[in-house]
Amino acid sequence: MTSFAARASVPADDRAAPGLPHSAPIPRHVAIIMDGNGRWAKARRLPRIAGHRQGVEAVRRIARAAREQGVEALTLYAFSSENWRRPEQEIGDLMGLLRHFLKSEIDELHREGVRLRILGNYQALQPDLVKLIDNAVARTATNNGPILAIALNYGAQAELVAAARRLAERVAAGMPVSAIDEAAIDRELDTHDLPPLDLMIRTSGEQRLSNFLLWQAAYAELLFVDTLWPDFDGAALAEAIAAYGRRQRRFGGL
């Protein structure tokens, strides 16, 4: 049995990403809090939906750049469980953009061998959208290339509560309490089949995790950049990977 600490200490890939020194390690798993769409639109005196549209274009760019730069898994925070507090019109616009993304991008993702994964309670979305998601996930399930994970209706605290409840049910069914360890919790999380999280990036200058991958980020490197999400591109991702490569990850050791 592999403990969470041991799993978290798996070294990142030592191949070099294009444009980076040969010795620069590549994070196996990168997560991004995509922030700044609204501010991007406001700065241009455009409606918020314009910022979200440009944000989708950034998703396309970064998903492609991550593959090109050797990232094994990319997780994007698309819609949090707290985002339901936004105006109904904006939520509708976001769901419409998600529909468009799934319809327009799934063919390319499949051709590239990408496996699509969804984190969070996406089943609470509208039925037609759930069907689109299920079909996209099923279509790419046997691909053996990089993983694109999209967090939809996701909240890390809710994820941990659900994991605790499932473990409590196992204990009630006879599992010894002593069997609950870091690895047991890790197996119950939405990310149980993803590589350990190496690097978390948040765009737009905000410096908080906003209920995203709280357990998984225990030993991740955190990087907060001022760039608004619609302006984030492959060069910005390469710079983030280079910054990651300059850090020393000790995992509590010397």
Active-site residues, by number, are 35, 83
Neighbours of 106 (CB within 10 A): 18
Where do we find the tokens 């051709």? 111
Contact 196, 235 (CB under 8 A): no
Q: Write the CB contacts of 107 (distance below 8 Å, at least 6 apart in sequence).
A: none
| Helices and strands (H and E) in the chain: how many | 8, 6
Q: Could you tell me which of 199, 211, 202, 196 has the C-alpha nearest to residue 242?
A: 199
Residue type, 93: D
Q: Is 95 helix (H, G, I), strand (E, B) or coil?
A: helix
**CB burial string 141-163: b at 16+ within 10 A, e below:** eebeebbbbbbbbbbbeebeeeb
Tell how strand 221-224 and strand 73-80 pair up. Answer: unpaired
Backbone angles phi, psi at 188, to 5 degrees: -90, -5
For residue 193, which amino acid is it?
D
Both structure tokens of 208? 């908080």
